[in-house]
Copies of this chain bind each other. A is one copy, B any other.
């Protein structure tokens, strides 16, 4: 059959003719064992292939060395990079990572967080959480430590650090660039309704237009799924309803790719007739024709930094909460 029984501290203790505590101290490199005893125990542990059970250890210590990572969708390259950065850093620090896709769905997000809670994770990284502020606060209180990515709590919570992209400023940069190259009828394809980043970009979009005395009419803003198909459908619709559109600022690069497709299908040249700007600078952005002008942030860095903030807080819960703000950079390419 499979799965021969694994060795336990008791087994090692018996073989080494010491108590379980001495084995425990030896394998944890705790003080209080003589060097000879420790060496002898480690040798025996090695021989029988002993590995401590994290689950038993977790029950005894109330620490599981696991971290939960919530993202809307790992198949979105932006979050895939965050996940990679987080896992790289977690692995280095000896933590295992639970991955969860919220699938842009409140109920699933909540159910998944419940599951993480039951797994008794040491901390959670929540990316673009769509939960209501109240629900979010409840969950945050359940976890020993939390890092929020692209979400704010408005008031500091003692166990929570945040990493936010300055979406307002990013949107301002993008829209100002569109204005500079002479565009005036600039619409915003805004992604999901309940996205915090989307809302913040909307503010930047509005403020840039206002500076130029342009009022963004309500029908200049169109929500859609944060995917290529979502962007394509939204753009097709807008271009038909308002043929005079000359600039499109997009929720992310995925939607921007859909927008480029729509422009091709609708026979609009990019950037001459319609200039397009995305956000995230995923790899595809520089490979597509026309190459996509976009806002760059470094998601791998965000993922890895989120882990280091979280691990710090797990070990020192009383550190003062940090709120990191990351400035996006406008990368000028061909589409605008």
Q: Which residues of A contact B (CB under 8 A)?
A: 1-4, 6, 51-56, 58-59, 64, 66, 69, 73-75, 77, 80-81, 83-84, 87-88, 91, 94, 96-101, 103, 108, 111-112, 114-120, 141-144, 158-159, 228, 257, 261, 283-284, 287-289, 300, 317
Contacts and interface: CB of A to CB of B under 8 A. Distances in A.
A122 B170 CA distance: 44
A304 to B, nearest CB: 12
A81 B75 contact: yes
B2 A317 contact: yes
Given A2-B141, A257-B287, A99 B99 contact: yes
Given A144-B2, A144-B3, A284-B287, A88 B101 contact: yes
B115 A96 contact: yes
As for how many copies of this chain the complex holds, the number is 2
A125 to B, nearest CB: 12
A288 to B, nearest CB: 6
B80 A108 contact: no
Given A142-B3, A287-B228, A53 B118 contact: yes
Given A51-B114, A74-B83, A98-B98, 8 more contacts: A3-B141, A54-B119, A55-B59, A55-B64, A66-B119, A75-B81, A91-B100, A228-B283
A80 B158 CA distance: 34
Contacts of A52: 118
Contacts of A2: 141, 143-144, 158-159, 317
Contact of A97 (B98, B111, B228): B98
Contact of A103 (B58, B88, B100, B144): B88
Nearest to A103: B88
Nearest to A119: B54
B80 A77 contact: yes
A219 to B, nearest CB: 28
A119 B96 contact: yes
